[in-house]
Amino acid sequence: MNYYYYIAGFPDLQPDGTKNVPSLADLRSDLEEQLCDRDRALLHLIYAEYDNRNLLRYLRDKDTELDPLGILTADDWRELIDLMDEQEYPHDPRLLPYVHTFYTAYRDENSPLHADTSAEDYLAGLYYDYAMQGDNRFLREWFEFNLNLRNLLTAIACRRHGFDAQRLVVGDNEMARALRKSNARDFGLAGQFDPLETVLRIADEPNLLTREQQLDALKWQWLDEHTFFNYFSVERILSLVLKSQLLNRWKPLTQERGTAVFRDLLDALKKDIPLKGA
């Protein structure tokens, strides 16, 4: 299905500015009315990232405020969790299969989830694996690119700080398995991941905000290259949503805030993950 009028009227997004960028809430609300059922499911898969965060929040505190970007409400989560508690094979159109897989492991105290990885990383791995099995090639490749990028950066950080990559690299594709095992400078990935050298160079950037900007520029370039011939298709729509995500995250961020976030993450790693040889 083509979306000529919607795409033609969409604001001109530029990677170096946040003017005229639609809010992600408004964008989803607008597209809910514009997309056909099949394409709407692809949009929901992108926004499932926020549902994942909300699920974790809800499991820790049922009264916590959820991110409004999530599609599912607190009432939805209460009903779905009751359903998963009651049925071994629950069926509900709101329930993506990987969520049930996660919740089953979360309830089981003997699950590897509780011994080997964090709930966030385990759920993220299931999310990526599920998204990479979808019917839409563009979205499959986007999720695989992001998984590989995330895992490569994680493996680099683990190597530098002495953390265990086995626990922090997520997913189960070929690159994830290589990153968990390889001691080579390039993790044995030469020829397997096109932006490898670019990412290794970005990882050496000492300025945290500059590094994040360079990573987002890399993602932006990927989106441009993979939608070059998709003028008015759903792939172009999804690309605009993903670009809007990239731009929206820069709106409230200052250098001081970016540094504080990084320090908080590093402190959490040091508390939760034993150093090798400790």
Residues of the domain holding 194 = 19-272
Q: How far apart are CA 111 and CA 119, in angstroms?
A: 11
* pLDDT greater than 80 at residue 263: no
Check: CB of residue 36 under 8 Å from CB of residue 47. no
3-state SS, residue 71: coil
Q: Looking at the domain assignment, is residue 13 inside a domain?
A: no
Q: Concatenate the DSSP letters of all residues of 155-205 into one string.
A: HHHHHHHT--HHHH--S-SHHHHHHHH--STTTT-TTTSTTHHHHHHHHT-
Percentage of the chain beyond pLDDT 70 is 90
Number of folded domains that form the chain: 1
User: Where residue 277 falls among pLDDT bands split at 50, 70, 90?
Assistant: very low
Q: What is the mean pLDDT of residues 239-266?
A: 71
Q: Looking at the domain assignment, is residue 1 inside a domain?
A: no
Q: How far apart are CA 225 and CA 219, in angstroms?
A: 10
Q: Looking at the domain assignment, is residue 239 inside a domain?
A: yes
> Residue 211 CB: number of other CB atoms within 10 A?
17
Check: CB of residue 214 under 8 Å from CB of residue 205. yes
- What is the token pair recorded at 233? 């298709």
What confidence score (pLDDT) does residue 249 get? 86
Longest alpha-carbon distance in the chain:
60
User: Where residue 256 falls among pLDDT bands split at 50, 70, 90?
Assistant: low
The string of pLDDT tens digits covering residues 76-95 is 999 999 999 999 999 999 99
Check: CB of residue 73 under 8 Å from CB of residue 93. no
Q: What is the mean pLDDT of residues 151-164?
A: 92
Helices (H) and strands (E) in the chain, counts: 14, 0
Q: Looking at the domain assignment, is residue 11 inside a domain?
A: no
Q: How far apart are CA 111 and CA 150, in angstroms?
A: 24
Q: Looking at the domain assignment, is residue 4 inside a domain?
A: no
What confidence score (pLDDT) does residue 265 get? 45
Question: Which region, left, alpha or beta, applies to residue 180 given φ > 0 means left and ψ of -120 to 50 means alpha?
Answer: alpha
What confidence score (pLDDT) does residue 260 get? 55
Q: Looking at the domain assignment, is residue 5 inside a domain?
A: no
Q: Looking at the domain assignment, is residue 14 inside a domain?
A: no
Taking Cα atoms as reference points, which of 167, 151, 138 lies closest to residue 229?
138
Q: How far apart are CA 126 and CA 93, in angstroms?
A: 18
User: Where residue 222 falls among pLDDT bands split at 50, 70, 90?
Assistant: very high
User: Where residue 257 falls among pLDDT bands split at 50, 70, 90?
Assistant: low
User: Counting every residue, how long is the chain?
Assistant: 278
Q: Looking at the domain assignment, is residue 118 inside a domain?
A: yes
